Amino acid sequence: MSEPLIRLAEIHEHNREAGTFWVYRGDRVYDITDWVPNHPGGEVILRAVGGSIEPYWNIFTIHQNQDVYDILEQYFIGNIDPRDLVDGKAPAGLVDDPFKSDPERDSSLMVRSSRPCNAETPASELGTFITPAEKFYVRNHLWVPDVGDAEDHRLTIELIDGEEVTYSVADLRKNFREYNITATLQCSGNRRAHMTAGSRPTNGLQWQIGAISTATWTGVRLRDVLAHAGVDLNEPDEDIKHAQFVGAEAYGASISFDKAIDRHGDVMLVYAMNGQALPRDHGYPLRVLVPGHVAARSVKWLNKVILSGDESTSQWQKRDYKCFGPNVASHNVNWDDAPAIQETPVQSAITGVRQVKGDRLRDSDLARVYGLEEESVVLEGYAFAGGGREIIRVDVSPDNGKTWWQAQLLPHDKDVHDDNQKAWAWKQWRLALPTHALHEHFCVKAVDESYNSQPEQFDAFYNFRGNLANGWHRVPVSSRSKD
Amino acid sequence: MSEPLIRLAEIHEHNREAGTFWVYRGDRVYDITDWVPNHPGGEVILRAVGGSIEPYWNIFTIHQNQDVYDILEQYFIGNIDPRDLVDGKAPAGLVDDPFKSDPERDSSLMVRSSRPCNAETPASELGTFITPAEKFYVRNHLWVPDVGDAEDHRLTIELIDGEEVTYSVADLRKNFREYNITATLQCSGNRRAHMTAGSRPTNGLQWQIGAISTATWTGVRLRDVLAHAGVDLNEPDEDIKHAQFVGAEAYGASISFDKAIDRHGDVMLVYAMNGQALPRDHGYPLRVLVPGHVAARSVKWLNKVILSGDESTSQWQKRDYKCFGPNVASHNVNWDDAPAIQETPVQSAITGVRQVKGDRLRDSDLARVYGLEEESVVLEGYAFAGGGREIIRVDVSPDNGKTWWQAQLLPHDKDVHDDNQKAWAWKQWRLALPTHALHEHFCVKAVDESYNSQPEQFDAFYNFRGNLANGWHRVPVSSRSKD
């Protein structure tokens, strides 16, 4: 029995206003109604229904693989009527480019993908404790939503009984105590390029050392807002296990409810960054800040918080941001075998290597610290651990790991953290080494307050998604620049 | 000018009842009054004053090194009058043996030192989730104090204003809610012998894999008792930073006040272990349990809790239980450069390797899990992380780290932990591997929920005290026993 022929006009009727959703690819037509609730990317897929899926897949190129084609084929219902074909093809149609209102970006950012925008902070900007907002790395999963005026934006809190409480940004500013938290955000893919180079190919954006930045975030505590919305923080409903966050562009993720209401967890609803309104790339007018967790949980353009017994069902919670053993690959992974990445492991990187002449060094602070008078090399970098665990030591090797020196940890964070706050921000470090000690590679590894550290190599910690690549950062000693 | 000659009778007068304290060593006399408050071991030193220090140093042999001799020489005041010497030596005197009332121990424990008793759990007993109390590793810093009846024992809480509140064990049982917490305790020296073998000599008891055990502990929450004693848990005095613990034998240590009162921290005052009264070796009649922290903070024979702005000043807080870089040695260490070990890093070990014939395996649960029918090797072990961070994966290599398999994590802990409790107990794991895959060494490494793991080698994480030795555990494939 042959499949029916379908007119384009009929396909157009099965659009987002309809109860059933059709798309076409080439001259083949699919009824994806049953797939929509299962789409890992959420309701974004409704942008395509009633027309061709291809322009969207040209944008979201993650779909251009056989697994996705196979899923689509399950929903095949017929071919396009040849009368609607031109040169044997259906018209692709005009796509409303979702990226057309993306903001301009600083030209020094190192672009890893432009649509969606993913761009890392250049190494030259990783040496300052607070990253200027325009130099802060950008990690967008979709487009930057145009939410209009902050005045019109609304945050809805959905309680466990389904009741909803809604706040404007002005409500948040007016009714709750304001806090400033200086915190580092790091993408789970930071240094993925090093895992690829040190072991095998990985799936994902090939970030170098700049998918990490630090800012001072201003906003209100999520726990205070939840209490106001009706949550009993002392004896909360035991059914609440997770706090899910939904962004205006359809991104979603969740954290544990314990973290969400932890008095020392500092989870915030943020409306300002480094003393200015949030830039659009960083979540204007409202985002979550989950300090100590992978940045993927700090949802931008926040419009909903859902208290739930379940994690977010998004692909970014259930799939992408997980790690597996080195023996697991995309063809044999069981995504449920690993928990979503929340707190991140110890990380560090070398951001600068400068050759310094003895006569310059002699009068410097480095000479006072290290007492070096000969020709030296000055290394600088960052170190960071998740969970608010403070970096207590940074070990640097001038000879590929044979001998080790302790770097000086710079005290910047003392200016922004009070005693009772966890270590939410990176530590910056520096070290002067005599030139005669250099051999092959500089290496750096950091140690946090629970005395966890970083793996020596990438092979044994390889994961096919290339997440949490925290093997020792190695830089050839030949790479030093003259001062 | 010659030093004065001193009669033995005069030395005897400067005993612990006196205001000044003298000791002698050989025929040299020392006034150590000014040293007593600085003695890293606390007031234990007063046992020796008024007589010879040598019998004590023969027991506490840590003193038999030049650093200690040099300290003592600073307090030299004269020589013993030759009239009191016999064959040119002063009588050593009779020492009241502090270890004479130590309890009998299970003969299967592997003794690393007998006075004080330090003995590890044999590998054959590390395969059960709950370690029987008599097989639980013993780590004593001094003797086991004879505290008499539990009825007579008192716990004193010293508040920040100096006020004291005293409780009997019966008071604790009667006035506070009782909790059972199943938690693993691990000595910071566990696997120190592996660091020594894998890198260089380390100072300290050369523990193998058995300085770790798990029990169900029964008692009351420290936070509840502190609240009763007058501490405002919601708005505590900001001067309180630490909770110090003092044991009846003079051992002392401290934890952060935040941990002490954390609702999810489960710090307990414990009077029972695996359903029975605490054995004397494990703190009878009362000890602290600090789950997720190095065992050195779970002070035994507890008789005092001091809320303070400062850490404990004991050597076990300020010196012994710290880690430094591989380049730091006892002659150049600055003990203040590192924080006291509290939460511990990821750890794992192989506790058993058995050759299993296919026909035995076929009907077993392992075959159902792994589907192996050929001749196989079954590995078993434990994995544990500090801070209540759950072990999420155990990777085992049959070929020295070239390929990796994921072990099955046994679900025992689900029986004892409720959903809202952190992972205070180890995970036990097992894995069947086909014999043909074996090459050189088995290796194991675990991963915790913050995706921290363990170092591949010991060299780059060597520390001269040999603490927190958590390099991959390697066992020769030739070591397997026939089943």
Average pLDDT score over chain B = 91
Residues in a beta bridge with A242: A256, A308
**Percentage of chain B lying above the pLDDT 70 cut:** 92
**Percentage of chain B lying above the pLDDT 90 cut:** 73
Return d(Cα B304, Cα B247) in angstroms, integer. 7
Higher pLDDT, B143 or B132: B132
Rounded mean pLDDT, B76-97: 81
Is the separation of the CB atoms in A282 and A290 below 8 Å? no
Whether A344 sits inside 8 A of B393 (CB atoms) is no
Q: What is the pLDDT of residue B109?
A: 98
Distance between A51 CA and the closest CA of chain B, angstroms? 43
Within-domain flag for B438? yes
Q: What is the pLDDT of residue A152?
A: 93
Within-domain flag for B439? yes
Using CB atoms, pick whichever of B327, B343, B346 lies closest to residue A403: B327
Among the listed ranges A116-130, A298-312, A386-400, B35-49, which one has the minimum average pLDDT value? B35-49
Q: Give me the phi and psi of A460, to 5 degrees please.
A: -75, -10
Q: What is the pLDDT of residue B59?
A: 73
Disruptive mutation site among B452, B457, B461, B472 for chain A (greatest number of A CBs within 10 Å): B452
Whether A455 sits inside 8 A of B457 (CB atoms) is no
Whether A326 sits inside 8 A of B460 (CB atoms) is no
Q: Which residue of A has its CA nearest to B422?
A: A258
Within-domain flag for B94? no
Residue B26 has, within 13 A of its CA and on its CB side, a CA count of 7
Rounded mean pLDDT, B397-419: 85
Query: Are both A69 and A151 inside the same structural domain?
Result: no
Q: What is the pLDDT of residue A415?
A: 61
* Predicted confidence (pLDDT) per residue in A188-197, tens digit: 999 999 999 9
Binned at pLDDT 50, 70 and 90, residue B362 comes out as low
CATH code of the domain in which B66 resides = 3.10.120.10
| Contact list, B200 vs chain A (CB under 8 Å) | none
Distance between A48 CA and the closest CA of chain B, angstroms? 37
Query: Are both A290 and A384 inside the same structural domain?
Result: no
For residue A474, give the nearest of A452, A446, A443, A451 by alpha carbon. A443
Query: Are both B360 and B379 inside the same structural domain?
Result: yes
Whether B395 sits inside 8 A of A460 (CB atoms) is yes
Between CA B265 and CA B271, with CA B269 as vertex, the angle to 5 degrees is: 135
Considering B306, B337, B368, which residue would you say is the last residue of a domain?
B337
Q: What is the pLDDT of residue B358?
A: 60
Is the separation of the CB atoms in B401 and B472 below 8 Å? yes
Rounded mean pLDDT, B167-190: 97
Q: What is the pLDDT of residue A181?
A: 96
ipTM exceeding the 0.90 mark: no
Distance between A318 CA and the closest CA of chain B, angstroms? 15
Peptide bond just before A285 cis, omega within 30 deg: yes
Whether B403 sits inside 8 A of A338 (CB atoms) is no
Residues 6+ apart with CB under 8 A from B186: B211, B212, B294, B295, B344, B347, B384
Q: What is the pLDDT of residue A369?
A: 56
Query: Are both B40 and B128 inside the same structural domain?
Result: no
Within-domain flag for B89? no
Query: Are both B193 and B53 inside the same structural domain?
Result: no
| Contact list, B406 vs chain A (CB under 8 Å) | 325, 327-328, 337
* Predicted confidence (pLDDT) per residue in A239-270, tens digit: 999 999 999 988 999 999 999 999 999 999 99
Whether B452 sits inside 8 A of A456 (CB atoms) is no
Residue B205 has pLDDT above 60, yes or no: yes
Return d(Cα A383, Cα B207) in angstroms, integer. 32
Q: What is the pLDDT of residue A402?
A: 96
Q: Which residue of B has its CA nearest to A392?
A: B338
Rounded mean pLDDT, B102-115: 94
Distance between B223 CA and the closest CA of chain A, angstroms? 15
Most confident of A295-309, A369-383, B45-59, B371-385: A295-309
Query: Are both B351 and B332 inside the same structural domain?
Result: no
Using CB atoms, pick whichever of B323, B406, B456 lies closest to residue A457: B456
Whether B449 sits inside 8 A of A387 (CB atoms) is no
Residue B87 backbone class (left: φ over 0; alpha: ψ -120 to 50; beta: rest): left
Binned at pLDDT 50, 70 and 90, residue A348 comes out as very high
Q: What domain range includes position A139?
A: 110-337
Is the separation of the CB atoms in A442 and A478 below 8 Å? no
Query: Are both B248 and B394 inside the same structural domain?
Result: no
Binned at pLDDT 50, 70 and 90, residue A370 comes out as low
Q: Which residue of A has its CA nearest to B471?
A: A455
CATH code of the domain in which A354 resides = 2.60.40.650
Binned at pLDDT 50, 70 and 90, residue A89 comes out as confident
Q: What is the pLDDT of residue A93?
A: 64
| Token code pair at residue A324 | 């597996």
Whether A450 sits inside 8 A of B387 (CB atoms) is yes
Return d(Cα B219, Cα B302) in angstroms, integer. 13
Rounded mean pLDDT, A373-378: 79
Residue B415 has pLDDT above 70, yes or no: no
Binned at pLDDT 50, 70 and 90, residue B310 comes out as very high
Return d(Cα B245, Cα A148) in angstroms, integer. 58
Identified catalytic residue from B56, B153, B167, B187:
B187
Q: How many CB atoms lie within 10 A of CB B377?
A: 22
Whether A341 sits inside 8 A of B468 (CB atoms) is no
Whether B323 sits inside 8 A of A451 (CB atoms) is yes
Residue A172 has, within 13 A of its CA and on its CB side, a CA count of 32
| Token code pair at residue A356 | 């310094």
Which residue, chain included where needed, has tokens 């994995």? B383
Residue A425 has pLDDT above 70, yes or no: yes
Within-domain flag for B36? yes
Query: Are both B169 and B271 inside the same structural domain?
Result: yes
Q: Which residue of B has its CA nearest to A236?
A: B420
- Per-residue CA distances from A171 to A244, A271, A428 (Å): 21, 12, 37
Binned at pLDDT 50, 70 and 90, residue A6 comes out as very high
Q: Which residue of A has its CA nearest to B421?
A: A258
Query: Are both B299 and B354 inside the same structural domain?
Result: no
Rounded mean pLDDT, B408-425: 80
Query: Are both A362 and A332 inside the same structural domain?
Result: no
Q: Give me the phi and psi of A194, to 5 degrees please.
A: -70, -35
Give DSSP secondary structure letters for A395-418: EEESSTTSS-EEPEEPGGGGGT--
| Contact list, A397 vs chain B (CB under 8 Å) | 460
Helices (H), A294-442: 315-318, 358-362, 365-370
CATH code of the domain in which B193 resides = 3.90.420.10
Rounded mean pLDDT, A150-178: 96
Disruptive mutation site among B422, B450, B458 for chain A (greatest number of A CBs within 10 Å): B450
DSSP count for chain B of H helices, then E strands: 10, 27
Disruptive mutation site among A264, A343, A445, A451 for chain B (greatest number of B CBs within 10 Å): A451
For residue B406, give the nearest of B425, B427, B422 by alpha carbon. B427
For residue A333, give the nearest of A467, A190, A472 by alpha carbon. A467
Residues 6+ apart with CB under 8 A from B304: B155, B156, B157, B158, B244, B245, B246
Element containing residue A100 per DSSP (H, E): none
Return d(Cα B251, Cα B255) in angstroms, integer. 14
Residue count of chain B: 483
Residue B256 has pLDDT above 70, yes or no: yes
Query: Are both B326 and B370 inside the same structural domain?
Result: no
Is the separation of the CB atoms in B217 and B183 below 8 Å? yes
Residue B299 has pLDDT above 70, yes or no: yes
Peptide bond just before B55 cis, omega within 30 deg: no
Return d(Cα B442, Cα A379) in angstroms, integer. 38
Helix%, strand%, coil% for chain B, nearest 5: 20, 30, 50
| Token code pair at residue B56 | 């004590």
Query: What's the gap between Cα B473 and its chain centre?
Result: 20
Q: What is the pTM of this model?
A: 0.88
For residue B96, give the nearest of B55, B137, B149 by alpha carbon. B55
Distance between B326 CA and the closest CA of chain A, angstroms? 7
Considering A42, A66, A84, which residue would you say is the last residue of a domain?
A84
* Predicted confidence (pLDDT) per residue in A124-148, tens digit: 999 999 999 999 999 999 889 988 8
Within-domain flag for A90? no
For residue B430, give the nearest of B404, B407, B457, B405 by alpha carbon. B407
Rounded mean pLDDT, B97-112: 92
Query: Are both A365 and A446 inside the same structural domain?
Result: yes
For residue B294, give the nearest of B341, B262, B251, B349 by alpha carbon. B341
Q: DSSP 3-state assignment of B362? A: coil
Using CB atoms, pick whichever of B327, B406, B449 lies closest to residue A405: B327
Identified catalytic residue from B28, B139, B293, B480:
B139
Within-domain flag for A102? no
Q: What is the pLDDT of residue A417?
A: 62
| Number of separate domains in chain A | 3
Whether B401 sits inside 8 A of A460 (CB atoms) is yes
**Percentage of chain A lying above the pLDDT 90 cut:** 73
Q: Which residue of A has its CA nearest to B327?
A: A404
Return d(Cα A374, Cα A365) in angstroms, integer. 15
> SS3 letters for B206-264?
CCCCCCEEEEEEEEEEHHHHHHHHCCCCCCCCCCCCEEEEEECCCCEEEEEHHHHHCCC
Binned at pLDDT 50, 70 and 90, residue A66 comes out as confident
Is the separation of the CB atoms in A308 and A273 below 8 Å? no
Q: Which residue of A has its CA nearest to B240?
A: A420
| Contact list, B421 vs chain A (CB under 8 Å) | none
Within-domain flag for B231? yes
Q: What is the pLDDT of residue B356?
A: 81
Considering B287, B313, B337, which residue would you say is the last residue of a domain?
B337
Is the separation of the CB atoms in A182 and A417 below 8 Å? yes
Give DSSP secondary structure letters for B17-83: TSSS-EEEETTEEEE-TTTGGG-TTGGGGGGTTTEESHHHHHHSGGG-SHHHHHHHHTTEEEEE-GG
Active-site annotation of A, residues? 39, 63, 139, 187, 321
Q: What is the pLDDT of residue A483?
A: 47
Whether B387 sits inside 8 A of A456 (CB atoms) is no
Q: DSSP 3-state assignment of A443? A: strand
Return d(Cα A114, Cα A243) in angstroms, integer. 30
